[in-house]
A and B are shown apart, each in its own frame.
Chain A
Amino acid sequence: KQEVTQIPAALSVPEGENLVLNCSFTDSAIYNLQWFRQDPGKGLTSLLLIQSSQREQTSGRLNASLDKSSGRSTLYIAASQPGDSATYLCAARKYGNNRLAFGKGNQVVVIP
């Protein structure tokens, strides 16, 4: 069974600092990995999807890297803003089906 871990569970950073969020997974036979953002009381918003053949994906201030062999993905958010405060979840999609295994998330607070 795929286990996805996100550490730390919560972190606070001053505005302007770069954010680094880590995600690890136990089964490297993944099809792709997806990062989501969740605001309190809301659903999940897809941020980035990295295919297993890719090393990284970028969207604006967000960059996600993937190292399948070591079972790790990292989400970088450059020049953090208070609006980046949210919970960030990573999810690994298993090869052969469309099943997503989620981590419990990194709860981020960006302090103005």
Chain B
Amino acid sequence: DAGVIQSPRHEVTEMGQEVTLRCKPISGHDYLFWYRQTMMRGLELLIYFNNNVPIDDSGMPEDRFSAKMPNASFSTLKIQPSEPRDSAVYFCASSLASVGNTEAFFGQGTRLTVV
């Protein structure tokens, strides 16, 4: 397996524009997570899915953020409208749910810059 795949790797956009980040988890993994990393706050969990169903979105900062998982092999994180304070690296991760085997694997991240 190629691991967790995220696209794009880098995104520069103007304030007010819509941004869509994409993630393909490892095949067979039950859980998918979206994290945001900044210097000030470190890694923060935004939302996670179990079997394509959103379980906990309490980390989503505002209504401008939304995430979907239409099938087991694809998820999106959308920001509309984007603001400069959304600039960060966004990571997607996936893991199995089986007892004793919940190791999380991360993608390479999308570096988002909102100007």
Q: Give A contacts to B, CB under 8 Å.
A: 31-32, 34, 36, 41-46, 49, 51, 89, 91, 93, 97-105
B34 contacts A by Cβ under 8 Å: no
7 A–B contacts, CB within 8 A, in A order: A43-B91, A51-B100, A98-B33, A99-B45, A102-B35, A102-B42, A105-B42
User: B95 at interface (Cβ–Cβ under 8 A)?
Assistant: yes
Please tell me if the beta carbons of B42 and A98 are within 8 angstroms of each other in the complex: no
A43-B91, A44-B106 known; A97-B33 Cβ under 8 A = no
Query: Which chain B residues border A31 with CB–CB below 8 Å?
Result: 102
Does A102 contact B43, Cβ atoms closer than 8 Å? yes
* CB of A60 to closest CB in B, whole Å: 17
Given known contacts A51-B100, A89-B43, A99 and B107 CB-to-CB distance under 8 angstroms = no
The residue on B at minimum CB distance from A49 is B103
Within 8 Å CB of B107, what residues of A?
A: 43
Asked if A99 contacts B48 (CB within 8 A), the reply is yes
Residues from chain A with a CB closer than 8 A to the CB of B43 are 89, 91, 102
Distance of A93 Cα from B102 Cα, bound (Å): 9
B105 at the interface (CB under 8 A from A): yes
Residue B115, interface by CB 8 Å: no
Nearest B residue (CB) for A44 = B106
Is B108 among interface residues, defined by CB-CB distance under 8 A? yes
For the complex, what is the distance from the CA of A98 to the CA of B48, rounded to whole Å? 9
Q: Quick check: is B109 within 8 A (CB to CB) of the other chain? A: yes
A98 and B50 form a contact (CB under 8 A): yes
Smallest distance from the beta carbon of B4 to chain A beta carbons, Å?
A: 8
A43 in contact with B108 given A32-B102, A100-B33 (CB within 8 Å) = yes
Contacts of B104 in A (CB 8 A): 34, 46, 91, 98, 100
Instruction: For B50, list chain A residues within 8 Å (CB).
Output: 98
Whether the Cβ atoms of A98 and B97 lie closer than 8 Å is: yes
Which residue from chain A places its CB closest to the CB of B56 in the assembled complex? A99
Chain B: CB-nearest residue to A46:
B103
Chain B residues, CB < 8 A from A97: 55-56
